[in-house]
Amino acid sequence: MDTIKKTDQNIINTYARFQKVFVSGEGCVLKDENDNSYIDFLAGIAVCSLGHCHPKITEAICHQASKLVHVSNLFYTQPQAELASLLVEKSFADKVFFANSGAEANEAAIKLARRYFQVQGDKNKFKIITLEKSFHGRTMATLSATGQDKIKQGFDPVLEKFIHVPFNDIDSLRKCIDQSYDNDSKNSNICAIMLEPVQGEGGVIPADKDYLKEVRKLCDDNDIFLIFDEIQTGIGRCGRLFAYEEYNIEPDIMTLAKALGNGLPIGAMLASKKAKKGFDLGSHGSTFGGTPLVTAAAIEVVKIISDPDFLAKCRNKGEYFKQKLFVLKEKYRFIKDIRGMGLLIALEFETESDKKIDAADIVKKCMEKGFIINGIQGNILRFAPPLIVEENQIDKLVQCLDDILATENQ
């Protein structure tokens, strides 16, 4: 029985998989079982930011696997301690909690924010504001936090006390906070505002700089925690080690995952000196959170990506990529927008044009020509290549898109 048949027969069908079986990868190139090569502009959905089988990451994994893989968090391990130290050193945070995924990191952030005020004796301060079009995960809490109805279909009743407001709309956010004060209390019942600096699944929509500064001020003025979901935007993806650095503000809580392990499952929730007080002995845990194996790999990831020269190259390549896509926008009237930050970039097609382009169809045609990209929201192409992508690989993809869109324009 071949791989595709075996998978379809034995695994619950929750993914619309391409009929491809990948067997190896190196850098930005993947190979399938028929030895066909594909230039990867998705990187496992912004995960393999150092490409496939990066030598230093592979070495770290093999070395650690030969020594110690798991002992549980009832004990101390050197790689976990070193990774936590690196993340604290390079961020706003005072403490770190390790999990296995982005959803679990967000779950920890939600629990931390709520529990902080419970511990402080403010039992009514537990609501969390999130943004429309956001995506925070697939657990019951994180899908409840997500601002997209399609993610919640079939799971009613979702968890209560999550409030969704429009993204980049400070007036709506301010109104929501104003309404959170009741007549019997001088305190808002909002414990946190949770958002992505750049909405990934929602369409690669960056937050306006002035908007985030005002959000930070609202949080400070109303004793509300600011949670940044940097699962997709963090670890160099947006041209800085963390996207919040581009905005010159700091969150109180931040979540990481995806690129942190370059393919190994790891999540992290980082907290400020104040916010960390929400957790104490026994209040939260994770059997596999931060094992020696995954943290050993993540140490190398952080060391490589945090290098200022590496990050500068990411920013430059991101601008190069966008400029190439803007040339296509000038050429094809059905391209509505090019946007993004660093190497998280979107090309959006018009939906009201007489020429309607299906993103999924473009993705399929790119695959046939040897390029892996992603379609989201029906009319948006998302590009999240490994941060080591070369300009000549960008040129090849843009030429491929040009050839495909030229046929669509006939």
User: What is the rounded CA–CA span in Å between residue 125 and residue 133?
Assistant: 24
Q: Are residues 114 and 258 in the same domain?
A: yes
Q: Are residues 336 and 369 in the same domain?
A: yes
Q: Are residues 290 and 219 in the same domain?
A: yes
Residue 29 lies inside a defined structural domain of this protein: yes
Instruction: Mention every residue, 6+ apart, whose C-beta is less than 8 A from residue 104.
Output: 137, 139, 267, 286, 289
User: What is the rounded CA–CA span in Å between residue 157 and residue 179?
Assistant: 24
pLDDT at residue 185 in the model = 67
Q: Where are the alpha helices (DSSP H) in 283-358?
A: 292-305, 308-331
User: What is the rounded CA–CA span in Å between residue 286 and residue 399?
Assistant: 46
What residue numbers bound the domain in which 168 lies? 68-305
Q: Are residues 256 and 349 in the same domain?
A: no
Domain finish residue from 278, 305, 332: 305
Residue 100 lies inside a defined structural domain of this protein: yes
Q: Are residues 83 and 195 in the same domain?
A: yes
Residues of the chain with pLDDT under 50: none
Q: Are residues 253 and 326 in the same domain?
A: no
User: What is the rounded CA–CA span in Å between residue 404 and residue 410?
Assistant: 11
Q: Are residues 289 and 391 in the same domain?
A: no
CATH number of the domain bearing residue 320? 3.90.1150.10
Domain finish residue from 281, 305, 329: 305
Q: What angle do CA 100, 104, 107 make, to 5 degrees?
A: 160
pLDDT at residue 125 in the model = 95
Nearest-CA neighbor of 113 among 271, 285, 280? Answer: 271
Read off the pTM: 0.96
Residue 59 lies inside a defined structural domain of this protein: no
pLDDT at residue 355 in the model = 78
CA 211 to chain centre: 20
pLDDT at residue 182 in the model = 75
E-assigned strands of 237-292?
253-256, 267-271
Tally of structural domains, the chain: 2
Q: Are residues 109 and 26 in the same domain?
A: no
Q: Are residues 132 and 12 in the same domain?
A: no
